[in-house]
Amino acid sequence: MVGTRRDILLGGLALLGAAAVWKPAFAAASSYFDGTLVDNGVTFRKTNLAKIDRKWHRQVVKYFSSEPIGTVVVDTRHHFLYVIMENKTAIRYGVGVGREGFKWFGRATIDAKSLWPRWTPPPEMRKRHPELPEFVAGGTPKNPLGPRAMYLHRDGVDTGYRFHGTLEPWSIGKDASSGCIRMFNEDAIDLYQRCPIGTAVQVLPHIADQAESTTQVSQTTPVE
C-alpha cells in the first residue's frame, strides 16, 4: 500500500521523536564513563566516578565484626560489600544486588575466579529471555560480567551467583540483577586481587539494625 503524504509526515515525526528520546538516554549512559583503561590486553571504558555519589566509592571504614579477617560480607539492603581487615576496619564497596524475586542470603565461598570471563546465561534466564545468546566471549563490549568474576559455591556446589563487574555503572546502589552482586569494573578488579580461592562470603539482608554492637561506619577514607 502506498502511504499518503500525511502518513509519511507522521512517520517522520515519529522517527524524530524516537531520536529525541534515544539521544538523551544514550548521552546520559555515556556520561557514566570517562576514557579507557587497559587490563590484561583488553581495553574497557573507565567509570566516571565524578558522576557517582561518593557513598558508592570504594573506601576504608570502621567495621566491628566477629567474622575472621578476609571475610566478605554483603549488606544487600544498603548495597554495600565489605572485606574485613585488621584493626576493626573494612574496605567497603558500593554494589548492585538482586531485584525483587531474585534475592538470596546465606554463606558461601569463592571457589573459582576468572579474568575477563566468558558469560553463559543460565537456562532459566534464557527461558525468560530467549533472545539471549548461548554465550558471550570474555573481553567483548557486550559481556555483562566485565573484567572479573568470582564464583560463589556452597558445600562444593556452584550457587550460580557471582561477584562481577558491570556494563551499567548506574545500577550500583540498586536492586538490579538476577541475584549476582554487581560492582564497578575497577572495584571488581580490586576485589579479585584481595580474595583468594576459599574466601568466606556472607550475604545478609542487612546489618544496619545491629550497627551499635556489630557494625559501625564512621569517618571514611577513600581507597585508590
Q: Where are the alpha helices (DSSP H) in the chain?
A: 5-30, 123-128, 185-194
For 195-217, letters b (16+ CB in 10 Å) and e give beeebbbbbbeebeeeeeeebeb
Identify the active-site residue in 57, 129, 153, 164: 164
Q: Which of 42, 63, 203 is nearest to 116 (CA)?
A: 42
Do the Cβ atoms of 98 and 175 come closer than 8 Å? yes
Identify the active-site residue in 57, 78, 129, 180: 180
Per the annotation, the verdict on 164 as an active-site residue is: yes
At 189, give phi and psi (nearest 5°).
-65, -45
Per the annotation, the verdict on 57 as an active-site residue is: no
At 199, give phi and psi (nearest 5°).
-60, 130
**Residue given cell 540498586 in the structure block:** 174
Name residue 146's amino acid: G
**Residue given cell 566516571 in the structure block:** 48
Q: Which of 138, 118, 119, 113 is nearest to 191 (CA)?
A: 113
Q: Which residues contact 192 (CB under 8 A, 6 or more apart)?
A: 113, 115, 148, 150
Q: Which residues are identified as catalytic? A: 164, 180
